[in-house]
């Protein structure tokens, strides 16, 4: 997709968005750059977890105003849970970014292939990290539900010499843990884990409600 009204181009490269900024932007007034930034942000807001390559390879220098626009784009992508790579081949542009301190926080590479590889690796690692982070609440939630059901079953069967109030208190405690863990899983971006979170949440509420009713 290319835009003709403004001096930038947006294309899709290996499932990533590439925003190529053109040299004319350096000569634009601030209000024009502000309008440009708003239009770019509007486009990027439609993307979920965007991975973006900001292409500065056509620039022989970069103005402070244009740097501000790039920072706006980077911040929005970051807020949406996405990642950004900067493509630059000019020493003067790199010097400006270095002086601005942006070289320390941005991934700046000289080729499109390196930008794509960086984004692919970062997103792959994030998927692994998310899987590790959100698998544990699901696992613990299932354990909590099973423990609550077991405690309530012990109360109902009365097969063991166990204080009924203790069994019910344990049922409620495990159910509360299940509710909290199920609610945590609802924040996951993966639908299957969110569904499991809902199941854990509902089961915990049912068993916990029964336990609390009997306890009272």
- Burial code (b: 16+ CB inside 10 Å, e: under 16) for 106-130 equals bbbbeebeebbebbeebbeeeeeee
Identify which of 65, 106, 111 has the alpha carbon closest to the alpha carbon of residue 85: 106
Domain residue ranges in the chain = 8-110, 130-215
Residue 90 CA to residue 34 CA, distance in Å, equals: 24
β-pair type (16-21, 51-55): parallel
Q: Which residues contact 119 (CB under 8 A, 6 or more apart)?
A: 16, 51, 53, 83, 85
pLDDT tens digits for range 21-50: 988 888 878 887 887 778 878 887 887 778
DSSP state of 111: S
pLDDT of residue 2: 42
pLDDT of residue 3: 41
pLDDT of residue 193: 82
DSSP state of 100: T
pLDDT tens digits for range 124-170: 887 777 666 557 888 899 999 999 999 999 888 866 677 888 889 99
CATH topology of domain 8-110: Transcription Regulator spoIIAA (3.30.750)
Reported as half-sphere exposure (CB side, CA atoms, 13 A), residue 126 has a value of 14
Q: What percent of the chain has pLDDT over 70?
A: 93
Identify which of 60, 79, 78 has the alpha carbon closest to the alpha carbon of residue 21: 60
pLDDT of residue 4: 46
CA 178 to chain centre: 24
pTM above 0.75, yes or no: no
């Amino acid at each position: 997709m290319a835009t003709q009204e403004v001096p930038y181009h947006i294309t899709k490269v290996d499932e990533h968005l590439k925003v190529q900024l053109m040299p004319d932007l350096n000569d634009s007034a601030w209000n024009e750059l502000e309008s440009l930034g708003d239009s770019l942000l509007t486009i990027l807001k439609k993307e979920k977890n965007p991975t973006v390559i900001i292409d500065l390879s056509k620039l022989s220098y970069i103005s402070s105003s244009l740097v501000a626009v790039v920072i706006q784009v980077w911040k929005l992508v970051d807020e949406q849970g996405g990642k950004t790579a900067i493509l630059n081949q000019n020493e003067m542009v790199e010097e400006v970014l270095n002086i601005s301190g942006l070289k320390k926080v941005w991934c700046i590479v000289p080729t499109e292939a390196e930008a794509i590889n960086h984004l692919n690796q970062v997103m792959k690692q994030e998927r692994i990290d998310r899987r590790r982070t959100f698998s544990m609440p699901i696992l613990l939630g299932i354990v909590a539900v099973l423990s609550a059901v077991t405690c309530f079953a012990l109360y109902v069967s009365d097969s063991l010499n166990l204080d009924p109030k203790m069994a019910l208190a344990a049922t409620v405690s495990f159910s509360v843990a299940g509710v909290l863990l199920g609610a945590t899983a609802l924040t996951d971006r993966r639908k299957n884990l969110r569904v499991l979170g809902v199941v854990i949440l509902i089961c915990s509420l049912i068993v916990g409600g029964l336990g609390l009713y009997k306890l009272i």
